[in-house]
Every structure is written in structure tokens, then in C-alpha cells.
Amino acid sequence: MKITNLIATTASCALVAGAALADDMTIVSWGGAYSASQQNAYHTPYTEKTGVNIINDESSAEAVAKLRAMNEAGNVTWDVVDVVASDAIRLCDEGLAMEIDADTMLADAPDGTKASEDFGDLLVSDCFIPQIVYSTTFGYRTDLVGDTPPTSICSIFDTEAYPGKRSLEKRPINNMEWALICDGVAKDEVYDVLGTPEGQQQALDKLATIKDDVIWWSAGADTPQLLADGEVVMGSTYNGRLFSVIEEQKQPVAMLWDAQVFDLDGWIIPAGLSEERKARALDYIMFATDTQRLADQAKYISYGPARKSSAPLVGKHAELGIDMAPHMPTDPENAKNTFLYNYEFWADYRDDIDAKFQAWLAK
């Protein structure tokens, strides 16, 4: 792994970071309950420790396109960016994210275990610092599904048994996989099929059967709001968003964990930062991804921490006082029938399938 020589010594790093304590730092994330959990677990404690003012930007859904444009313009204005793993792979491959040496740039576990071992297989890219394991899954209105609540992911295609609007994300990821599964493709063959033009068309054809019944969302907060307002009978979003609407807002909503799609989310540091901004970003990353901080985020949202050493520290919700472990996507009861997201596939196929999907939507 080639690592840029950011700073000569630890001492010089401290001096550079110390000189920047009064500066602003722009951190990009997804907004809503997720950004709130980061604010509580990472940003506020970091500001208290260093004096750095953190500016929250909620542009993660557009991170790849915006970082490409910033790089081309030679003006990178973001310091740390929260992205899904497949986007991190793309950004790394394109030279838009800096490489990270986990064992020198990230904190050891409390027992001295190196970060590379503590994160393990979740280090899916040389540029990616894992933060959470989450899933995209479905919520449904308990008062709109009659006496037989849905138990299968394929209920989203059953408009006879469950009439009403559905909400799906306005992108191919996950939707294409679910469509193929519900069209009879075995889970272990989904990506082989989706890698062909015929398979892509098969997925779009299946989605076309409910296209008129779909409200397409772009922000993670959309489906919880649509569910709370009773505008959809069921809809996809991130499991942490559903936890918020169910447990915090006490809406008549329940989770459908079947075929939930596991994914990773974490940080990248954009390439092209000044030495001072690199040092400051690395200082933040060292702080925000240590064992205790990752466990702390689970006090505010139901996402599993990416470090092995953090899992035993997950306790109760900071305000509700409920045990958070049963609300994690990785809980054995919830993970009986998961679908494993293929990072490499989407890193390779994302642009092409995106274009095909958006053209289909526009018809």
C-alpha cells in the first residue's frame, strides 16, 4: 500500500492540528437521525476537545459526483466524507480519496489489538474507514396491512394483498436485487444475472409491475415521514431511520427484516487537501473511530459498530433506556434471511446501471 507521507512525525502532526483548532472543518454525511447520532457521539466531543468548529453538510448521496467536480476544479472544500463502501471503492480507484494505513492512522483497540485486525474484513478499500454496519430494509404501517402483516420482501410486489403506495429509493441498488429475488432468481445467483443486459431488463420488468404504485425517495428521511403520514403502506429505508420512527416517535410502524441488505458506511478523506487540512482530518478520524466512540454512536441509532472491540460496549439507548442490541441488523433474530450486498459489483457497474435505471424511470 502506498501511503502519502503526510507529516514527518507525530509531534509535527500535533503542532499542525493544534494550529488549526479555531478553524472550521466540513464533514459530509446523510442528515436526519444518522447525522444526529454522529453529532452526539463524535462531533460534539471532538469540538469540546479541540475547539474545531464542525460544519455539517448533508450531501453524501451525491458525494462521488461532487468530489469529481471539486477535483476537476482544483477546489476541494470537504474535509471528511461519510460514504457507503461501494462509493469509497470508486473514489479510491479514481484517486479522489487518500489511502489510509489503518495501523498507524487509526487507534488501536483498548487491549492493543491493531485497527486492521479489529476492523478485519470490513476494510474493503485502502481508502475506507468503516464506521457502521447497517441495512436497507422495509417498514410498514401496522394499521394498513390488515390481519396478515407482511413477512416476505416480495410483499412489496403484492399490491392485491397490500394495496396502497410503496416507497423505494430512486436508484437501482437494492431495488434491482429485490426484484430479481422476487422474480425467482436464487440469492446466490443474483449478481451473476444482474451483470447481464438480460438480467438488468428482467429486474426492471419486475419493478415495472409496481411502478405506478411507487413514490421514489432520495433522502433517508423520506420513507419514515411518508409512513408517519400514512401516505405509503410500506417503504424501504435504512434500519436506523425506521428505529427512530418506531421507537422514538412511536408511530404505528413495524420492521420487515426479510432480505434486509447489509452494507457498510464509513469515512473517506478527500485527496487534494492541504497538509494542514489532512492532518486535521486524520486527527478527527483517529478520535471518531476508536472503540469507545463507535460504541457510543449505537446509543443513538440502531447501527452496529464496525469494530469487533466495540460490540461488547453497546448498551442502552441514551434517552429511551432500551437495550439496543435487539434493534441491530446483525441481531441473530433479525438476520435470519439477509442479502449480502456486493461492493465490487456496484463499484464496477454503478454508472452504467444508474444510467439505464434513470432512463427507465423517465419513461
The predicted pLDDT at position 5 comes to 37
pLDDT exceeds cutoff 90 at 155? yes
Cα 240 to Cα 134: distance, rounded to the nearest angstrom: 8
pLDDT more than 70, % of the chain? 94
pLDDT band at 341 (very low <50, low <70, confident <90, very high): confident
Q: Any alpha helices (H) in the chain, and if so which ranges?
A: 10-19, 32-38, 44-50, 63-73, 85-93, 102-105, 115-119, 175-181, 190-194, 197-208, 222-228, 239-243, 275-288, 291-297, 343-362
Give tens-digit pLDDT for 191-206.
999 999 999 999 999 9
**Per mean pLDDT, which range of 2-16, 131-145, 262-276, 282-296 is the poorest?**
2-16
Q: Give residue 219's pLDDT.
A: 87
Query: 245, 138 in Cβ contact below 8 A?
Result: no
Three-state SS for 356?
A: helix
pLDDT beyond 60 at 19: no
pLDDT in tens, 24-37: 999 999 998 899 99
Q: Structure pTM? A: 0.73
**Residue pLDDT, tens place only, 249-292:** 999 999 999 999 988 999 999 999 999 999 999 999 999 999 99
* Mean pLDDT of all residues in 60-78: 95
> Which of 338, 182, 358 is CA-nearest to residue 257?
338
